[in-house]
Structure 1
Amino acid sequence: MTQNNTVILDGGLGRELKRRGAPFRQPEWSALAMMEAPDIVGDIHRDFIQNGAQVITTNSYSLVPFHIGEQKFETEGRSLAALAGLTARQAASGKAVQVAGSLPPLFGSYRPDLYQADQVKALALPLIEGLAPHVDIWLAETQSLISEALALKNAVDEMGHQQTPFWVSFTLEDSVAVDTPSLRSGESVADAVEAMSGAGVSTILFNCCQPETVETALQVASSTLKQLQREDIKLGAYANAFPPQTKEATANDGLDELREDLNPQEYLVWAQKWQTAGASVIGGCCGIGPEHIHALSRQFNI
């Protein structure tokens, strides 16, 4: 924990993998590097740590049938998740760095319409089993609807990992007015926060969306937690560096052009606003690289 109680997360893996020449294509996305070039994944983890990240996230986001196909998931999903966990743990070894096990949207990013409640366990359990020996935190990230976040928490609990902190990060609808933040399912931020507060979640975050929307969501979340008298629950944020995505968008369709106004110093301005709005866990998502994390660390890690 930093002196001002702000924890620094890492940034996005996908663009870094592409930039460093790792195998990277659709439909596998970042999972391809886990299959063919795990050493590059480890190098990126270490780079984020060297630039100040106190929590690194496993490269397990794309290890779902949506990306790697049903057959490969059935035969290799658990072992690939274990490799993702081990790669992150080895990078963090000997350092004051925690490993967050990424539990992704199981049926496709930004696609709450594809959610299948009866399939959650079959897809989540191999990931949980593979990651469990290596992680300090569970991170259900880029969640588009409340039901899936709750289902992932239940799956972790049923496997006996209730003592490991569970974080949930929601992705927000970018194409609506930022004064009315909602999940991509249309559910309100206030409802999501209330549901998570009753489920034993220790940290609620917002990611894979615009920094402007994140700020407003944090304000709503902070107010909701105060009303619920649950100020023990932490808030956090890690935004994208690319332009707003519409309701029709699907995350990981391709590498979007980056916003010119979200260089490391400009991103830091937003991070400071998030901290004012209640965030104590801050990092970056798609397009946010080690140089951004370095700027965050220099500001907050004092």
Structure 2
Amino acid sequence: MNFREFLNKEKFIVLDGPMGTELIRRGIKFKTKLWSAEAIFDNWEIIQEIYIDYIKAGTDIITTNTFRTNPWTFQKLGYSLETLEKYINRAVWIARNSIEKNKSKRRVFIAGSTSPLEDCYSPDLSPDFETSYRYHKITTRLLKEASVDFILIETMNTINEALAASKAAKETGLPVATSFVLREDARILSGEDLIEGYHKLYDVGIDIFSINCTHYSVIEIILEKLLKIVKIPVCLYVNAGILKNGKWYDDKEFTPEKYRKIALKWYKMGVKIIGGCCFTTAKYIKSINRAKKLLLNN
């Protein structure tokens, strides 16, 4: 069964949690703009441990540690396309090796991650459409050649770059999920309307519409309206913290148990895929899986 068939067949799907903040939690420090990608060669065993924790928690999908492995970032750091390809191939190998090492009887799929070319919290820095398309085309092609199951375009902060990345990803022939990051009023970080973003991405032909790196309370401002109009599966993976006035604050009340209840509600509302973003852990993924099992068993 390929991922497209799985997506059509399954009613409830569990996505994994974060890689970057989880590496930091386990003692890894990042020194360059490569961020979590620095660990691909130096600390790959820890990446594997994180994946295995997510698989044991019940995830159906693990996401490649390629959030910053794009030619835009590598070019700025003076790295070649050949080096970029080595990083992407290694990242996908770690994901696949983790699945094989865990020996789970469940099929676990691999999402090939890509993100904004510039900082995901700086929509004003996003390049023009043609530049974005050209760079995202390289990344998505390399992810396909490394044999991911689908492309996950994460934390998009403008409609323009989301469209460029989605167009490039669709040309791989793989299923495509595109995800926006929202500001406090549930608009895209650029200030653009999320519903407008959905309609434009739907016209491009994406397979999954998503929101990530956003507090659950912000998503709930727009979720009911979104679910009334979408014609494709919706994916939500939230932060265990909240962004206010440009600063991160821990939400100590957002426990794994609370997320279980939220996930249960969201699945019932019609959300198909739920996972975790920054500062969540395998405990949150386990809670989502518990919500999924409860619904499937009733």
User: Which TM-score tier does this pair reach, normalised by the shorter chain?
Assistant: 0.7 to 0.9
Q: Which residue of 2 aligns with 1:209?
A: 214
How many residues were matched structurally?
Answer: 281
Equivalent residue number for residue 266 of structure 2: 274
1:94-105 matches, cutoff 5 A: 95-105=106-116
Whole-angstrom distance in 2 between the partners of 1:266 and 1:68? 42
1:51 equivalent to 2:57? Answer yes
Structure 1 residue 73: Cα displacement: 5.8
Q: CA deviation at 1:145?
A: 1.4
1:39 to 38, 45, 59: 45
Q: In the alignment, what sits opposite 1:192?
A: 197
Matches of 1:121 and 1:203 in 2, distance apart? 19
User: Any conservation in 2 of the 1:31–1:68 contact (CA below 8 Å)?
Assistant: no
What is the Cα deviation at residue 27 of structure 1?
A: 3.5
Structure 1 residues 238-268: Cα deviation after superposition (integer angstroms, max 9, x where no partner): 010112243x46xxxxxx5531011100122
Q: After superposition, give the CA deviation of every residue in 1:162-211 in whole Å (9 maximum; x if it has no partner).
A: 2x11111111112x3xxxx2111111121011112211111111110110
1:210 is aligned with what amino acid?
H
Question: Which digits, 9 at most, give the CA deviation of each residue in 1:72-118, with x for residues without a partner?
Answer: 26452222112111211222236411100001111111222111123
Q: What is the CA distance between 1:121 and its match in structure 2?
A: 4.0
Which residue of 141, 154, 163 maps to 2:167? Answer: 154
User: Could you tell me which of 236, 244, 261 is aligned with 2:253?
Assistant: 261
Aligned counterpart for 1:137 among listed residues 146, 150, 174: 150
Distance 1:73 1:299, change over 3 A: farther
Q: Runs of 5+ in structure 2 lacking a partner?
A: 1-5
| Conservation of the 8 A alpha-carbon contact between 1:172 and 1:213 | yes
Are the counterparts in 2 of residues 22 and 40 from structure 1 also a CA contact under 8 Å?
A: no
Q: What is the CA distance between 1:286 and its match in structure 2?
A: 0.2
Q: What is the CA distance between 1:38 and its match in structure 2?
A: 1.6
Amino acid at match of 1:50: K
8 A contact 2:61–2:111 mirrored in 1: yes
SS in 2 for 1:140: strand
SS of aligned partner of 1:108: coil
For residues 103-144 of structure 1, the C-alpha deviation after alignment (integer angstroms, 9 at most, x for no partner) is 111111122211112322443244223321321111111011
Uncovered stretches (5+) of structure 1, i.e. residues with no partner? 250-255
Cα separation, partners in 2 of 1:216 and 1:286, compared to 1, 3 Å: same
CA distance in 2, matches of 1:58, 1:259: 27
Return 89-98 or 165-174, whichever deviates more. 89-98
Letter in structure 2 aligned against 1:203: I
Q: Which moved more, 1:95-104 or 1:74-83?
A: 74-83
Identity value in percent: 28
Structure 1 partner of 2:235: 236
2:183 is aligned, of 163, 173, 186, to 173
Question: What letter matches 2:270 in structure 1?
Answer: G
The answer to whether the 8 A contact 1:104-1:140 is kept is yes
Q: For the aligned residues, what is the CA RMSD? A: 2.3
* In 2: Cα distance, 1:131 partner to 1:188 partner: 29
| Cα separation, 1, equivalents of 2:161 and 2:273 | 22
Q: Taking structure 1 as the reference length, what is the TM-score of the superposition? A: 0.85
- Contact 1:11/1:293 (8 A) holds in 2: yes
| Contact residue 23 and residue 36 of structure 1 kept, 8 A | no
Paired with 1:61 and 1:73, the residues of 2 have a C-alpha distance of 17
Residues 64-73 or 274-283, more deviating: 64-73
CA distance in structure 2 between the partners assigned to 1:88 and 1:217 by the alignment: 33
Question: How far apart in 1 are the matches of 2:95 and 2:46?
Answer: 11
